């Protein structure tokens, strides 16, 4: 999707402002030493992890295997009894 020139200019200006502001941020909740470049190829996909990561879903564009791995990590970390835990990962703080 191509943006109109005014929209692209607005986004460019916003990026410049945010990029300058980022250099002034210190501490919680931001970190700028993270490299997400390995995930860039996935930005063009419409991944959606809605639903139970332990059930077969009809919508196959999801990252449920990774979600289950994260849940398993925390189950082990908290010594949850084997095969007696369940969960999901949310990307926000609403819940």
Q: What is the pLDDT of residue 94?
A: 64
Query: Which one of 11-15, 25-29, 81-85, 87-91 scores highest in mean pLDDT?
Result: 11-15
How many CB atoms sit inside 10 A of residue 87's CB?
16
pLDDT band at 70 (very low <50, low <70, confident <90, very high): very high
DSSP of 16-78, one letter per residue?
HHHHHHHTT--STT-------GGGGGGGGS-----S-TTS--S-----HHHHHHHHHHHHHHT
pTM of the predicted model as reported, rounded to 2 decimal places: 0.67
Closest CA relative to residue 91, chosen from 39, 55, 41, 23:
39
Q: What is the pLDDT of residue 30?
A: 73
Q: What is the pLDDT of residue 92?
A: 66
Per-residue pLDDT of 6-62, as tens digits, reads: 999 999 999 999 989 887 877 667 777 788 899 999 999 999 888 899 999 899 999
Instruction: Identify the residue with better confidence: 94 or 5.
Output: 5
């Amino acid at each position: 999707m191509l943006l109109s020139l005014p929209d692209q200019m607005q986004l460019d200006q916003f990026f410049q402002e945010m990029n300058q502001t980022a250099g002034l941020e210190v501490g919680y909740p931001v970190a700028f030493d993270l490299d997400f470049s390995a995930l860039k190829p996935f930005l063009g996909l419409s991944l959606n992890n809605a639903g139970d990561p332990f059930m077969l879903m009809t919508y196959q564009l999801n990252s449920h295997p990774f979600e289950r791995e994260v849940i398993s990590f925390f189950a082990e970390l908290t010594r949850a009894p084997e095969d007696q835990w369940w969960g999901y990962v949310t990307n926000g703080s609403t819940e």
